[in-house]
Amino acid sequence: MKVVFLIAGKGRRLKEITKDNHKSLIKLDDNSLIHHLIENFVYAGLTNFVAIVGHCSDKVLSEFNKQYSQNIDIEYVENSRYEETNNLYSLYCAKDILEGEEFLLCNADVVLDREIIKDIASMKDQSVIAIDDFKYSAPVDSPGILMDNYKVSDLGRHIPFEDNMGYAIGVYKFSKELSKEFFNEAKKMLNQNINAGFHDPLPKLFDKFEVLKYRTKDKLWTDIDAYEDIDKARKIHNNIKNKYERNSVIYPDLMTKVVAITGAGAGIGEAIARAFLAQGSKVILISRSDITWINEYHPSQYIFLKKDIQETDFFSKWLEKFSSEGYKVDILINNAGIIQHNKLMNITVTEWDSIININSKAPFFLTQIFAKHMIKNQCGNIIFASSFATKLSSFSYGIYAASKAMIVSLTKSFATELAPYNIRVNSFSPGVIKTQMTKVARENYEKDMLNDIALNRFGSAEEVAKAILFLATEESSYIHGIDLDISGGKFISQNSNLAYKDTM
């Protein structure tokens, strides 16, 4: 099967870059966008390429020949009228090569997870359009689609946003039958409009030919149409690269998991969320405040629910809808919590209700909601954030310690009740971790606090996240009902600081 790259256009929205270069040659890292596209197709076993060139054709051809002349077969077709035409005309320039042949068409300005290409290439003798049906909050500058059951029934930018069922991402597979009729229709259209897009003839053929959709789901992609897209494309490329590199993906089984994390906006919650994203997991970020750092990731990698965890009715309805759409949550991490600094004799009813409701009550009922969902799936993993305070409380933090002690007890009880459904339940107790929550105490009592920690340093949120990854993965499949101490050896002896003086 041939792979067709559309690389003729000038990229007018990037005119400062493309005045003397082609946007497919934009560097994502040490290599260009087109370099990585070719790598992905070769990975899928496709090595027969047709490059339709125009603007900066010499540079584009040089990029192909430099890296791949020994590994791929390539035919070049030139659109000498690229300045005055659109990509349908470019594709029509390759009519003699492609008409009646099965081929896979790809815009040369997209960054793609290689599994998208591999999946589509495996759909033999079928016509396919790759779509992203993520529920965007505003229109996207890509052709929208309409579906009739499993078949594509319409395609184009004319589809109203509210009716749209997804966006084409720039990867199209043509069966032999469709490609023959496509070029007949393209000729008619070009006689009327030389600036038609390559997708414009397709809607006229949907009644005659079955064109299937391929959902990208959680697989990453983006395109480059504007200056702000370049930085985004580099981040997406880096995330895709990390997904497949061993030094990033520590636990491959997490790549297919959906993980819900409360308190994901900052501190330990942010570190846990980033850790799962690095493993390729789909992450449901739950926070009552906005999360600014999620802009570093593609929307297909996460779902953001801006909600207080006490709004359990919302989560119950949301999870029911999520489940009805064919999705499931594999892992729940009850991380959200607050700290209360006041002596027990001065605690008010309001303060009591606040900390117990957030630290104990809300995690209990959230777990109840998600556990019912996991029971239906006969598998799951629930992780609670407890605290070292449950082992030894600090002065004037008694109510906080009590709220977290309930979590340790609930962990064991839930672990007992959910074990028959293959649902593991554990908790973790961080010691003094360098987050905003502990900043004041660390600044005022650093020396005394470090004297109690055998490792003689404060922990990082990233170190906690690594431990949580382990509890979430199948590598810890026989760990159940425990509270994992992540404190650097806090209070493992009465005077652990003397060990440092003894070594001097």
> What is the average per-residue pLDDT within 9-36?
88
Task: Examine the domain organization and report whether 304 and 195 are in the same domain.
Answer: no
Q: Is 445 a catalytic residue?
A: no
From the number of C-beta atoms within 10 Å of its C-beta (0-12, 13-18, 19+), residue 85 rates as: buried
Instruction: For residue range 355-367, list pLDDT tens digits in order.
Output: 999 999 999 999 9
Compare 219 and 96 and report the one with higher pLDDT: 96
Listed in order, strand segments (DSSP E) in 348-415 are 380-385
What does the pLDDT read at residue 395? 82
Does residue 210 have a pLDDT over 90? yes
Contact 44, 245 (CB under 8 A): no
Compare 13 and 421 and report the one with higher pLDDT: 421
Q: Does residue 270 belong to any structural domain of this protein? A: yes
Task: Examine the domain organization and report whether 177 and 276 are in the same domain.
Answer: no
Task: Examine the domain organization and report whether 211 and 284 are in the same domain.
Answer: no
Compare 309 and 83 and report the one with higher pLDDT: 309
What does the pLDDT read at residue 64? 79
Taking all residues of the chain, what is their mean pLDDT, rounded to a whole number? 89
Tally of domains within the chain: 2
Task: Examine the domain organization and report whether 215 and 251 are in the same domain.
Answer: no
For residues 378 and 368, give the distance between their C-alpha atoms in angstroms, rounded to a whole number.
15
The one catalytic residue among 89, 400, 478, 500: 400
Compare 75 and 493 and report the one with higher pLDDT: 75
What does the pLDDT read at residue 158? 87
CATH number for position 378: 3.40.50.720
Range of the domain at 343: 247-439+460-486
Inter-helix orientation angle 267-278/227-244, to 10°: 70
What does the pLDDT read at residue 71? 63
Q: Does residue 322 belong to any structural domain of this protein? A: yes
Structure token pair of residue 485: 């101490």
For residues 6 and 431, give the distance between their C-alpha atoms in angstroms, rounded to a whole number.
55
> What is the average per-residue pLDDT within 197-209?
91
Q: Does residue 42 belong to any structural domain of this protein? A: yes
Identity of the amino acid at 234: R
Does residue 245 have a pLDDT over 70? no
Task: Examine the domain organization and report whether 287 and 378 are in the same domain.
Answer: yes
Task: Examine the domain organization and report whether 176 and 282 are in the same domain.
Answer: no
Predicted structure pTM score: 0.62
Confidence of residue 135 (pLDDT cuts 50, 70, 90): low
Q: Does residue 77 belong to any structural domain of this protein? A: yes
Percent of the chain with pLDDT over 70: 96
Confidence of residue 69 (pLDDT cuts 50, 70, 90): very low
Contact 309, 328 (CB under 8 A): no
Task: Examine the domain organization and report whether 185 and 264 are in the same domain.
Answer: no
Q: Does residue 448 belong to any structural domain of this protein? A: no
Handedness of CA 124, 127, 130, 131 (dihedral sign): negative
Contact 51, 60 (CB under 8 A): yes
Name the residue among 389, 382, 399, 266 with its Cα closest to residue 333. Answer: 382
Task: Examine the domain organization and report whether 270 and 215 are in the same domain.
Answer: no
Confidence of residue 416 (pLDDT cuts 50, 70, 90): very high
CATH number for position 81: 3.90.550.10
CA atoms within 13 A on the CB side of 362: 25
From the number of C-beta atoms within 10 Å of its C-beta (0-12, 13-18, 19+), residue 111 rates as: buried
172: left (phi over 0), alpha (psi -120 to 50) or beta: beta
Task: Examine the domain organization and report whether 267 and 397 are in the same domain.
Answer: yes
> What is the average per-residue pLDDT within 399-411?
94
For residues 372 and 356, give the distance between their C-alpha atoms in angstroms, rounded to a whole number.
23
> What is the average per-residue pLDDT within 46-57?
91
What does the pLDDT read at residue 503? 58
What does the pLDDT read at residue 137? 58
CA atoms within 13 A on the CB side of 146: 15
